[in-house]
């Protein structure tokens, strides 16, 4: 299709409708928003981080400008017209949805891409989506950055990748001090909510393949696998999709002196503050999420877990040949927020048999052991857990095999050395193993 005719088609497709609604005002103040007054009174410590390095924009010609100059799409001259149309329509929809949901939009970049709006670049030879910095905006009351988006033409799903890249750019603009892995997780979560796919890499089950990892670790597709963690947090702390947005707003800050950017409060500090403000404990939340990830998916209350076809990897599945029994060690160290799992067949045990069950970790780890008895249909019959947060390398649970039990789910939840911080090097994670023995009479 000739480019002039293509531009006319895009203008018609993307022109604002007469019935288009303005962004809805925010609803009633939520519990998270009510925390702002108390949180801003804290003295937030933490490290300084370098500002994101400005990225050179791709050398790709301008292909389309939205009727209201809100955004532009750059693409090679030989790009297929349908691809350009799909990218422009998706970007328009993503922009509308993020504004409606309260995420806002990227800062106007002052014409850096040859237009006054946001710039999306479709580039050949790449298969990823990313938001890139154009430098800091020092004129506002909070740290912010100008940004653009890049999507490779080799991606296997254009629409989710465009949403992912646009969300990354929006988040980069809101808080340039936050870890790139955390931004990837939030962007993947936003994409999951809008398209049903967790980012360009469809990372919703990445954490299940690396269950020992923390939710924002690089091994989870550069952090995108943290989308599952955010979805589970929302189910526990809000349930309507507001929690991740309001959590991210708490991460913003102003660096008024010195070098670098203030990186506190970060995502973990804010989660801990929110949980404690509700009378809970941060470590209990980590344990709860660790158990939820391993429960039979068809019994899970959360839609995201019911939809997952991938249970977390386990270090043992089967029946012990004799007692005492020891599993092998976890494949890697268990980070804070990660977990090790085992599924123990109780065929060799008897109903009412008293067991001593241990979680044995390398020295210095904080962890918690949870034992869940399941029947043949995956229903929970009993659950017991050790007190979380101990500083010893072992956790212990006395357990009696209930009637009807078929499987014991063993969960070793990693709690780290202290509250995690994505801006500092992670201490060496510690490996874990499980042990079962008959309970000894006193």
Does 331 share its domain with 207? no
Extract the runs of DSSP E, i.e. beta strands, from 125-273.
129-137, 144-152, 261-262
CA dist 291 to 77, 185, 285, 398, 414, Å? 51, 21, 10, 18, 11
pLDDT for position 12? 43
With a cut of 60, say whether residue 9 has pLDDT above it: no
Extract the runs of DSSP E, i.e. beta strands, from 75-203.
118-123, 129-137, 144-152
Does 90 share its domain with 175? yes
Is residue 300 in some structural domain?
A: no
pLDDT for position 394? 86
pLDDT for position 363? 79
Single out the residue in 233, 262, 280 at which a domain terminates.
280
Indicate the length of the chain as a whole number. 442
How confident is the model over 321-355, as pLDDT tens digits? 999 999 999 989 999 999 999 999 999 899 999 99
How many domains does the structure of the chain reveal? 2
How confident is the model over 12-30, as pLDDT tens digits? 445 544 444 444 444 444 5
Does 246 share its domain with 131? yes
CA Rg, the chain, in Å? 24
Task: List the domain range (segments joined by +) for residue 344.
Answer: 314-438
- Assign 162 a pLDDT band (cuts: 50, 70, 90): very high
Does 191 share its domain with 322? no
- Assign 11 a pLDDT band (cuts: 50, 70, 90): very low
Does 365 share its domain with 230? no
pLDDT for position 71? 97
Does 251 share its domain with 328? no
- Assign 240 a pLDDT band (cuts: 50, 70, 90): confident
Single out the residue in 236, 255, 280 at which a domain terminates.
280
Single out the residue in 264, 280, 296 at which a domain terminates.
280
Does 135 share its domain with 236? yes
Is residue 414 in some structural domain?
A: yes
Does 225 share its domain with 360? no
Instruction: Supply the pTM of this predicted model.
Output: 0.88
Is residue 288 in some structural domain?
A: no
Is residue 153 in some structural domain?
A: yes
Q: Write down the H helix ranges in 1-109.
A: 3-14, 36-39, 81-100
Does 233 share its domain with 374? no
**Residues 236, 183, 175, 84: is their CA dihedral positive or negative?**
negative
Is residue 287 in some structural domain?
A: no
Q: Which of 215-219, 291-295, 299-303 has the lowest mean pLDDT?
A: 299-303
Is residue 407 in some structural domain?
A: yes
Tokens of 297: 């998916």
Does 262 share its domain with 123? yes
Does 134 share its domain with 258? yes
pLDDT for position 48? 87
How confident is the model over 66-110, as pLDDT tens digits? 999 999 999 999 999 999 999 999 999 999 999 999 999 999 988
Distance, in Å, from the CA atom of 267 to the CA atom of 288, rounded to the nearest integer, reads: 18
3-state SS class at 337: coil
Q: What is the CATH number of the domain that holds 427?
A: 2.60.120.380
Is residue 152 in some structural domain?
A: yes
Average pLDDT over residues 396-404: 96
Does 318 share its domain with 393? yes
Is residue 47 in some structural domain?
A: yes
């Amino acid at each position: 299709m000739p480019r002039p005719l293509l531009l006319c088609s895009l203008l018609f497709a993307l022109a604002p409708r007469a019935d288009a609604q303005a962004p809805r005002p925010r609803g009633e103040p939520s519990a998270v928003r009510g925390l702002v007054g108390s949180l801003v009174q804290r003295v937030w410590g933490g490290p300084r981080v370098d500002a994101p390095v400005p990225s050179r924009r791709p050398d790709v010609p301008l292909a389309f400008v939205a009727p209201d100059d809100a955004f532009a799409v750059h693409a090679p001259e030989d790009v297929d017209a349908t691809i350009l149309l799909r990218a422009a329509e998706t970007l328009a929809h993503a922009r509308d949805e993020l504004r409606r949901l309260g995420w806002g939009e990227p800062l106007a970049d002052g014409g850096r891409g040859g237009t006054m709006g946001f710039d999306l670049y479709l580039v050949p030879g790449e298969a990823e989506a990313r938001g890139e910095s154009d430098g800091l905006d020092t004129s506002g009351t909070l740290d912010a950055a100008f940004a653009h988006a890049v999507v490779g033409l080799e991606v296997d799903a254009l629409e989710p990748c465009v949403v992912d890249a646009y969300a990354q750019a929006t988040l980069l603009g809101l808080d340039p001090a936050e870890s790139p892995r955390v931004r990837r997780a939030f962007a993947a979560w936003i994409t999951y909510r809008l398209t049903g796919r967790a980012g360009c890499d469809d990372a919703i089950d990445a954490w299940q393949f690396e269950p020992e990892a923390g939710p924002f670790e690089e091994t989870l597709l550069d952090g995108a696998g943290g989308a599952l963690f955010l979805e589970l947090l929302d189910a526990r702390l809000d349930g309507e999709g507001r929690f991740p947005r309001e959590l991210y707003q708490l991460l913003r800050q102003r660096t008024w002196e010195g070098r670098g950017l203030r990186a506190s409060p970060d995502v973990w500090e804010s989660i801990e503050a929110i949980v404690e403000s509700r009378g809970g404990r941060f470590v209990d939340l980590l344990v709860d999420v660790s158990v939820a990830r391993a429960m039979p998916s068809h019994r899970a209350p959360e839609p995201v877990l019911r939809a997952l076809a991938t249970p977390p990897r386990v270090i043992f599945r089967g029946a012990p040949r004799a007692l005492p029994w020891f599993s092998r060690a976890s494949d890697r160290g268990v980070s804070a927020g990660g977990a090790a799992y085992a599924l123990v067949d109780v065929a060799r045990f008897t109903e009412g048999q008293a067991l001593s069950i241990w979680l044995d970790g390398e020295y210095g780890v904080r962890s918690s052991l949870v034992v869940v008895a399941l029947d043949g249909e995956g229903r929970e019959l009993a659950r017991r857990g050790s007190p979380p947060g101990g500083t010893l390398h072992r956790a212990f649970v006395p357990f009696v095999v209930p009637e009807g039990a078929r499987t014991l789910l063993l969960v070793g939840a990693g709690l780290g050395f202290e509250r995690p911080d994505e801006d500092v090097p992670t201490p060496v994670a510690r490996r874990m193993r499980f042990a079962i023995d008959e309970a000894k009479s006193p």
